[in-house]
Amino acid sequence: MPIIDFFTGNQRLLHLLGGFAVGLFIGFRVLPVWFATTPPDEGQQQALQAEAADLEEQIERAVVALDVVDIADANLTLSLDHRLRRRGQAVVTVHLRNDATTDQLDGMATLVASLVEGVAPGQVTLIDGTGRQLNKSSIQEYEQKVFWTGIAINIAKILGILAALITVKFIIRAVGRSADSEQDCGIG
């Protein structure tokens, strides 16, 4: 029985579903066990909290040094993810001397993000003394960018898997043809 005949009719669907099930099992059960990570310990968390307090003071001094800001109060949240990469978010309450432009607000968010590793400008929220969010549109743009980037990455992964499956299919066909030609020539 040639290999090509093996993948005909309903068997193709069964093999595709079987391969999909094996892939899901490996992806969700086997790989997480092989590449398990440990959560950050108490010492790492305490070191992060102490560093966050120092960074809050640096942020406040840097933002107050700007011409449009009179008073600044920074609140910084730092954490470690499952791969022990640093993640953070900052909320800075500013009392402005006069109205700031969108570019000035974006510059403030960029300044704060540059002071803290693991914080992007879209993860910095600027609030005025009355509690009004000053850079809401910038944060929304950042969140949309992150969302669509994630979608694009997932589509690229799916296309890569499909390309690998097609390559395997052509390899199997080539092996089947070479086996058939060897039988026709009397080699086998």
Tell me the per-residue pLDDT of 139-167, one tens digit each, with 9 for 90 and over.
888 889 989 999 999 899 888 888 888 88
Q: What is the pLDDT of residue 152?
A: 92
Q: Within its chain, how far is the Cα of 17 from the centroid?
A: 28
pLDDT at 6 over 60: no
- Tell me the sheet residues that pair with 124: 90
pLDDT tier for residue 58 given thresholds of 50, 70 and 90: very high
**Strand 69-80 to strand 86-96: parallel, antiparallel, or no bridges (unpaired)?**
antiparallel
DSSP states of 108-125:
HHHHHHHHSTT--GGGEE
Higher pLDDT, 34 or 126: 126
Task: Give me the chain's average pLDDT, please.
Answer: 81
What percent of the chain shows pLDDT beyond 90?
20
pTM for the full model? 0.61
What lies within 8 Å, CB to CB, of 49 at 6+ separation is 78
Round to whole Å and give the CA distance between 65 and 177: 74
Would you say 80 and 44 are in contact if contact means Cβ atoms under 8 Å apart? Answer: yes
Token pair 């005949």 is at which residue?
Answer: 5
Q: Are 72 and 93 in contact (CB under 8 A)?
A: yes
The Cα–Cα gap between 71 and 127 comes to: 12
